């Protein structure tokens, strides 16, 4: 996958998801991430609090 503005290539889908999520205001946004994906995606969002229920 390529970023259509910078043409940087994403390493995997999780890096792409993180780039999309970072477009939102992190101070006003809470994320629910499936437990199966939490460990992998949290590496790309180190400063974001992620809840799982």
Question: Is 80 exceeded by the pLDDT of residue 12?
Answer: yes
Q: What is the mean pLDDT of the chain?
A: 78
Other beta carbons within 10 Å of 46: 7
Other beta carbons within 10 Å of 33: 19
Note the pLDDT tens digit of each residue in 18-37.
888 888 776 777 777 788 88
Q: How many residues does the chain have?
A: 53
Q: What is the pLDDT of residue 49?
A: 67
pTM: 0.60
Domain map (residue ranges) of the chain: 13-51
Higher pLDDT, 45 or 25: 45
């Amino acid at each position: 996958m390529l970023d259509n503005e910078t043409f940087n290539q994403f390493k995997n889908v999780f890096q792409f998801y993180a780039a999309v999520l970072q477009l939102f205001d992190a101070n006003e946004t809470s994320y629910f991430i499936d437990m199966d994906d939490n460990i992998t995606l949290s590496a790309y969002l180190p400063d974001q609090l992620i809840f799982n229920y």
